[in-house]
């Protein structure tokens, strides 16, 4: 049976089972209208989620008995739309068909424009949405992109989103599609827009939220952020425990962390520190250690600011290690 006499459904199945070169050869003799119909049919099959593999294999074997040869490359809808149409029809006509198919695919699969949007566009589109809605959208994204969005959310919102993601609510497919469609429409007004550079305060807020969730959830989120941006991932991890957090640490945890800290580093770190931090440290080191710190302070020359910052990082390091291990305890506020 000639290709032009085939039902669109069978023809689309055949094309999706062929390699790129063979599919292009078959399409060359068809009018552009027929090719457009096939493109739409292929997109419908792809987005329906109900592909019958047995039926597809039956159709493919009927017209292409060498399909099962080792190493043959199957045609994907993405490659068909981006390459084959251009090869057969030319760039201008192919873009026209791609645009029409994109409209149809948005209707069939409302999550597609969400997956294709940038992180900044999604943050703008999700602004003012409920944590439950955001928790519904994030699992539909690549994990690295979802982690990036979490890092940009308001602290309270981020906390509630993470909680919703750990306790997902089952929604009907129609409800999910309606939510996705609404956000997809909103994305249309954010094309190309970007957010301001991420200030440390935003990452600090995320870090505080993650400090309060279960260790396995926290590590999963941090791993995903790290995959997308290692520098940001490291910053968030470090911001979970800072020098300013020392007054919030329980006495026992602080005592265990201070045991291995060199007295000269501790003295340097305490220079120009807030009185609350100094008092917390002094109340959790031995008299001998306090005397050693006082001696170091008396002999110390005026330190540089970067030297103080470096010393404080060394003091906080064992606290961060305890936090990663899940042994750090914070005082109840």
Q: Does the structure show a pLDDT above 70 at 215? A: yes
> Quick one: 131 and 208 in the same domain?
yes
What would the pLDDT profile of 34-84 be if each residue is shown by its tens digit?
777 777 777 767 666 555 666 665 655 554 443 344 444 444 555 555 566
Residue 269 structural domain: 245-325
Distance in angstroms (rounded) separating the CA atoms of residues 175 and 265: 58
| Residue 332 lies inside a defined structural domain of this protein | no
What would the pLDDT profile of 156-179 be if each residue is shown by its tens digit?
788 788 878 777 667 666 777 788
Asked if 13 and 59 count as a contact pair (C-beta separation under 8 A), the reply is yes
**Which tokens go with 144?**
């690295």
pLDDT band at 193 (very low <50, low <70, confident <90, very high): low
pTM: predicted TM-score of the whole model, two decimal places = 0.45
> Quick one: 181 and 285 in the same domain?
no
Distance in angstroms (rounded) separating the CA atoms of residues 100 and 36: 9
CA 35 to chain centre: 37
| Residue 116 lies inside a defined structural domain of this protein | yes
Phi and psi (nearest 5°) for 249?
A: -85, 140
**In CATH, what number is assigned to the domain containing residue 318?**
1.10.220.30
pLDDT band at 9 (very low <50, low <70, confident <90, very high): confident
Give me the pLDDT at residue 243, please: 92
> Quick one: 114 and 223 in the same domain?
yes
Distance in angstroms (rounded) separating the CA atoms of residues 88 and 94: 8
Give me the pLDDT at residue 246, please: 93
Average pLDDT over residues 290-308: 90
The mean predicted confidence, pLDDT, of the chain is 76
Q: Does the structure show a pLDDT above 80 at 10? A: no
> Quick one: 7 and 86 in the same domain?
yes
Asked if 24 and 87 count as a contact pair (C-beta separation under 8 A), the reply is yes
> Quick one: 148 and 212 in the same domain?
yes
pLDDT band at 255 (very low <50, low <70, confident <90, very high): very high
Give me the pLDDT at residue 126, please: 87
| Residue 330 lies inside a defined structural domain of this protein | no
Give me the pLDDT at residue 72, please: 43
Number of domains in the chain: 3
Q: Does the structure show a pLDDT above 70 at 330? A: yes
What would the pLDDT profile of 136-152 be if each residue is shown by its tens digit?
888 888 877 887 788 77
Domain end point (choices 57, 88, 109): 109
> Quick one: 131 and 73 in the same domain?
no
What would the pLDDT profile of 302-313 be if each residue is shown by its tens digit?
888 889 999 999
Distance in angstroms (rounded) separating the CA atoms of residues 90 and 309: 61
156-332-245 Cα angle (round to 5) = 75
**Which tokens go with 183?**
């956000």
**In CATH, what number is assigned to the domain containing residue 198?**
1.10.220
Q: Could you tell me how many helices (H) and strands (E) the chain has, helices first?
A: 21, 0
> Quick one: 136 and 234 in the same domain?
yes
CA 152 to chain centre: 11
Give me the pLDDT at residue 100, please: 65
Average pLDDT over residues 3-13: 60
Higher pLDDT, 211 or 100: 211
Q: Does the structure show a pLDDT above 80 at 97? A: no
């Amino acid at each position: 049976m000639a290709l032009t006499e085939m039902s669109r459904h069978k023809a689309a199945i055949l094309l999706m089972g062929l390699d790129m070169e063979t599919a292009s050869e078959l399409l060359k003799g068809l009018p552009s209208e027929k090719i457009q119909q096939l493109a739409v049919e292929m997109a419908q099959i792809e987005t329906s989620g109900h592909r019958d593999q047995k039926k597809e294999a039956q159709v493919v074997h009927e017209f292409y008995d060498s399909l099962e040869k080792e190493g043959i490359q199957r045609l994907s809808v993405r490659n068909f739309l981006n390459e084959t149409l251009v090869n057969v029809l030319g760039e201008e006509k192919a873009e026209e068909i791609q645009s029409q198919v994109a409209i149809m695919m948005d209707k069939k699969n409302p999550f597609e424009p969400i997956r294709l949007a940038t992180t900044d566009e999604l943050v703008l589109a999700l602004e003012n949405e409920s944590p439950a809605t955001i928790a519904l959208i994030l699992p539909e994204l690549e994990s690295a992109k979802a982690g990036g969005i979490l890092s940009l959310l308001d602290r309270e919102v981020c906390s509630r989103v993470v909680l919703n993601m750990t306790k997902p609510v089952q929604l009907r497919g129609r409800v999910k599609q309606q939510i996705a469609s609404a956000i997809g429409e909103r994305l249309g007004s954010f094309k190309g827009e970007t957010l301001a550079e991420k200030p440390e305060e935003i990452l600090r807020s995320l870090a505080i939220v993650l400090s309060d969730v279960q260790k396995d959830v926290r590590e999963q989120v941090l791993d995903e952020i790290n995959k997308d941006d290692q520098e940001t991932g490291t910053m968030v991890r470090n911001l979970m425990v800072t020098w300013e957090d020392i007054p919030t640490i329980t006495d026992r945890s602080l005592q265990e962390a201070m045991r291995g800290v060199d007295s000269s580093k501790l003295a340097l770190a305490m220079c120009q520190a807030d009185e609350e931090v100094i008092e917390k440290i002094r109340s959790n080191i031995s008299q001998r250690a306090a005397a050693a710190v006082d001696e170091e302070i008396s002999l110390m020359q005026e330190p540089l600011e970067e030297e103080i910052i470096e010393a404080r990082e060394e003091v906080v390091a064992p606290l961060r290690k305890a936090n990663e291990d899940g042994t750090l305890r914070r005082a109840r506020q």
